[in-house]
Structures are given as structure tokens and as C-alpha cells.
A = this chain, B = another copy of it.
Amino acid sequence: MFSKQDYYYMALAIKLAKQGHYTTSPNPRVGCVLVNSIEGKVQIIGTGFHQKAGQGHAEVNALLDATNKFPKLIKDATAYVTLEPCSHFGRTPPCAQGLINAGVKRVVAAMVDPYPEVSGRGLKMLEQAGIQTEVGLLENEAKALNIGFIKVITEGLPYVRVKLAASLDGKTAMQSGESKWITSSNARCDVQKLRAQSCAVIAGAGSILTDNAKMTVRWSELGELKESYQEDKIRQPIRVVIDSKNRLTPDLDFFSQESAVILVRGKLDRIRLEKLHQWPHFVEQVELPMVKASVGEDKVDLTALLTLLAQRGLNDVLVESGAHLAGAFIEQNLVDELILYQAPKLMGGDGKNLVEMPNISTLTQAKSLSITDIRMVGCDIRITAKLEKIP
């Protein structure tokens, strides 16, 4: 049984972890709070969170903070940490050892390490040193912090969000193709934040060509996030473009910004491609198997693509594409979450559809979701919904 106090400090540790929201990947977001009694009253003596791979873990940062502020109170302190302290030497020494050395009395972890190979080892190391350990406090909230990190470990696939925007009647453009702008600038700024939190964005060549899109994070459009996230700290997501018909050319605006691109090709056209264009140094061409489509042309194997991204530590992936590619991801049950912006407009039946899913023809086959959030973003509606898992 956890006390009210335990809940309070763990909630604070989770809040701290969120400060790494835009920067920690491929590492998890972790927060730590150290508390001890000062004249009979429990007080916070140090806090920390993990900011970036290669930099201090949350526990190390919290211990450092306590050393500066209340060095005499570290002994016999309680540590609240959103993830089981690590037990291995990585780029930094194991955090479990750090807590042991510091002399803490009790460690409360929100969840165990999701890596099956090391899960529980950190807690065991602490227990063997005589430290009281508890686990499972605000576990769901802690898991939500690192939903992509955990999915990559447990399923070998990244957490996939699909961002879509349409009118209230589900249209993304007029029949003529006219589509700028359906949603408001507020909604477009909100999308910038989605991009900024993603390790990779996936688009089809068609969207890049139609919209002349760059798919980068524009700091100037990050709104209030700018206050906590400096322009020079921006982590651009890897831009993944599926171009199985080789329609992109190096002169596009898309290639004007020096920021990593993965250009996805179907296996078939290898030889021709290598000779086709001279790509900038930040563009990597990747060949993936094709799959036979029951309707229309063969397509790049999207599961193979996502597996590749997971292997590269790209935990959170955002699909920002047209109706066909988004529909393919959804139809193949590869999507975890939908973020749908709805502009307060009605465009009529001749407009272009939001998602094309040619293999779906009955209501039973239609994709079910559960709504997790609805809110206004400027004058538009933003709907967040999780795709139901197919057993």
C-alpha cells in the first residue's frame, strides 16, 4: 500500500520526466524525486530528470541536486523514480549502484525495466544492499511517458501516430485538389509539436510533391513550447519518405534543409535508382521488400519499414501522409493512435476522402477506435483516439 505522500512525490517525478518529452529518445523519459525528513517533516531534498542520451540519468541528476542543497539529508532518503534504476554500465554507471552509494533507505519505482533481460535486476541490486524497494506506483502513468520506448522493446515496432486533418464531413481537399488551408494556423502549430515529439515522420512522395512540404519542425511555430525548448536544442525528426515510384528529385524544397532523410525504395528498382540522382549527404536510401496488394499496385512492406525504424531506436513515429498511405497503415493494423484535426467546414461529397482503405467493405471490417481526448485547438477540433487492437 502506498501512502498519499508516495502518490504525491511519484506524480512529481512523472511531471519531471515530462521535461524530457522532446529530447530523450532513443532513451526513456525518467524523473526522480528524493525526499527525507527535515525536523520531523518530509521534504524534497533533490529532483532530477533525464534530458538527453549521453547525459545524466534522472537518479544521478537528483542525487547531484541533493548534494548541492541538502548533502546531509541524502542518507536514509527515499527515492521516487518513474522507471526501475538501471543495473548495467552503459554510457553512465548503474543508477542502482549510485543510490546504494548515496545511502538511500527506500526506493519506489513506478514500473520495472521493460527489457526482459534486465527487468528486476536494478531492484534486486538495491534489495541486496538492504534498501527497501517498492514497485507499481502510478504504473500506467509511467508507462504512458514511454509508450514508444516500451513498444519498441516489447513488440519490435515503434508507437505509430497518424495525423490527419479534414473538414467536419471528412474531406481533405476539394475535387480540384485545392486544400490550403482547411485547418487554422493554431492547428498547424499543434502539428509542429506532434512532429517535435516524434523520432521520425513518415510521408509519401505524393504529399511532398503536392504540398512542397519540408516536414521539419519549425521552431517559430511551436507556440508556448518555445519558452521551454530553445531553438538550438531542437531535435529534428528523421524524415522518412516512401517513394517507390522514384518521383522525388534533389532540387525539391524538402532537401533544402540539412536534416536526416530516409528515402524508402522498393527492392525492385535498385540498379536504376543508384544512377538516377546525386542525393545530399544526409539522405539515406533504404530498400525494402514489396508486398502484393489485393487492390491496386504492389506497395512497400510497411511492417518491414516500421521494424527498421524500431531497430534504429526511433520509438515514436508520426505518419503525416495522404489518404492512401495513411489508409494502408490503418488497414494493416499498424497504427496505435489517430490525431484528427477537424476544421469547422463542410466541403461536400465531391471533396477528397480522409482515408482510403480499399480492402474494407463491411462494417465489421471498419476500424474501431476509442476516443481518449477531444478539445478545441483554435477554431478547430482535435480528436485523439486509440485504434483498437486486433486480437
Interface residues of chain A, those whose CB is within 8 Å of chain B, are 166-171, 174-176, 178-179, 182, 323, 327, 330-331, 338, 340, 342, 344-350, 353-358, 360-363, 366-371, 374-376, 379, 381, 383, 385
The distance in angstroms between the C-alpha atoms of A232 and B313, with both chains bound, is: 65
Residues of chain B with a CB closer than 8 A to A344's CB = 368-371, 385
The distance in angstroms between the C-alpha atoms of A176 and B363, with both chains bound, is: 10
The distance in angstroms between the C-alpha atoms of A175 and B358, with both chains bound, is: 11
Chain B nearest CB, measured from A140 CB (Å): 20
One of B166, B182, B345 near A169 (C-beta < 8 A): B166
- Please determine whether B383 and A360 come into contact, CB atoms closer than 8 angstroms: no
The distance in angstroms between the C-alpha atoms of A355 and B368, with both chains bound, is: 22
Known contacts A340-B168, A353-B169; A348 and B368 CB within 8 A of each other? no
Chain B nearest CB, measured from A340 CB (Å): 6
Residues of chain B with a CB closer than 8 A to A169's CB = 166, 170, 353-355
Residues of chain B with a CB closer than 8 A to A356's CB = 348-350
Residues of chain B with a CB closer than 8 A to A379's CB = 370-371
Closest 4 CB pairs of A and B: A170-B170, A348-B357, A349-B353, A349-B356
The distance in angstroms between the C-alpha atoms of A176 and B362, with both chains bound, is: 8
- Please determine whether A383 and B168 come into contact, CB atoms closer than 8 angstroms: yes
The distance in angstroms between the C-alpha atoms of A249 and B359, with both chains bound, is: 38
The distance in angstroms between the C-alpha atoms of A170 and B348, with both chains bound, is: 10
Chain B nearest CB, measured from A306 CB (Å): 19
Chain B nearest CB, measured from A309 CB (Å): 23
Oligomer copy total: 2
- Please determine whether A362 and B170 come into contact, CB atoms closer than 8 angstroms: no
| A166, A361, A375 pick with most chain B CB within 10 angstroms | A361
| A170, A368, A369 pick with most chain B CB within 10 angstroms | A170
- Please determine whether A358 and B348 come into contact, CB atoms closer than 8 angstroms: yes
- Please determine whether B363 and A346 come into contact, CB atoms closer than 8 angstroms: no
List the B residue with the shortest CB-CB distance to A167.
Answer: B366
List the B residue with the shortest CB-CB distance to A388.
Answer: B344
The distance in angstroms between the C-alpha atoms of A363 and B177, with both chains bound, is: 10
Residues of chain B with a CB closer than 8 A to A353's CB = 169-170, 348-349
- Please determine whether B360 and A355 come into contact, CB atoms closer than 8 angstroms: no
Residues of chain B with a CB closer than 8 A to A357's CB = 346-350
Known contacts A350-B358, A350-B361; A166 and B176 CB within 8 A of each other? no
- Please determine whether B374 and A374 come into contact, CB atoms closer than 8 angstroms: yes
Residues of chain B with a CB closer than 8 A to A361's CB = 174-176, 350
The distance in angstroms between the C-alpha atoms of A336 and B57, with both chains bound, is: 57
Residues of chain B with a CB closer than 8 A to A342's CB = 383
- Please determine whether B170 and A363 come into contact, CB atoms closer than 8 angstroms: no
Chain B nearest CB, measured from A226 CB (Å): 27
- Please determine whether B348 and A168 come into contact, CB atoms closer than 8 angstroms: no
List the B residue with the shortest CB-CB distance to A356.
Answer: B349
Residues of chain B with a CB closer than 8 A to A166's CB = 169-170
| A356, A363, A371 pick with most chain B CB within 10 angstroms | A363
Residues of chain B with a CB closer than 8 A to A383's CB = 168, 342, 381
